[in-house]
Amino acid sequence: MTSVTAHDYAWMRSSPFFRYALGTGYTLTLVRGVAPGEVLRVMQAEPQGTCTGVDALIEQQEELFEATDYSYESFIAGVLTVPGAGGDWTLVLHFDGGVAMQPRFLEALSAGGRAVVHSSNGGKPIHLFHWYEDGKLRTSFEWPTAREGSTPDALNSVMREVGFHLSDDEGDTGVRVESKAAVLALAERLTGVRVTEEMLHDAECQLGHVLDEPAEE
């Protein structure tokens, strides 16, 4: 496990990517042991070719927004292979207005492995974090002091190390640093994947069009 903390992600405060992501709503998922094409299949995504860089992914999403009168009933997912703990991981990124990754997808993608996801709904400040292991939701939270899942306290020591303040004293903000930077650091602790501006700029993504609630097979 790396020693990364929220301070290692201070760059996000001036990042055009994160400014767009937090304004529009985004979901970033990291999956171990599942190839990008299989991730898109599990998400029941319609293949949409490839693109280079997050700016191109944003352009694709903006085109979809315009075509659907800015409806959030579907989104374009960008999927790529990234290095992490124990080998390759798959990073899934989409600007979905808060739709996020369906729990049933996360259960399937984490079966026999691990999935870590963080998201924001854009506009209203709802920021979520989920850790799945072997198909089960282990720890989930919006506020770090109100955790859920089968093992809600399993990450407490790591959360403190990356910068979260877990006190629920009256008047406490719940964090001692930028909360989104702490979430990024927590995700890296669990995956070994370092998200950087350069990675996002140069990413070679497979694309898929995902409906909010795809029809069951």
Please state which of the ranges 21-35, 103-117, 161-175 shows the lowest mean pLDDT: 161-175
What is the pTM assigned to this prediction?
A: 0.91
CA distance 209 to 112: 26
Whether the predicted pLDDT of 1 surpasses 70: no
The residue with greater pLDDT, 73 or 160, is 160
Q: pLDDT by residue (tens digit) across 197-213?
A: 999 999 999 999 998 65
Phi-psi region of 100 (alpha: psi -120 to 50; beta: other; left: phi over 0): left
Structure-model confidence comparison of residues 53 and 212, the more confident one? 53
Averaged pLDDT for residues 91-111:
91
User: What sign results for the dihedral spanned by CA atoms 65, 63, 90, 24?
Assistant: negative
Structure tokens belonging to residue 153: 């306290």
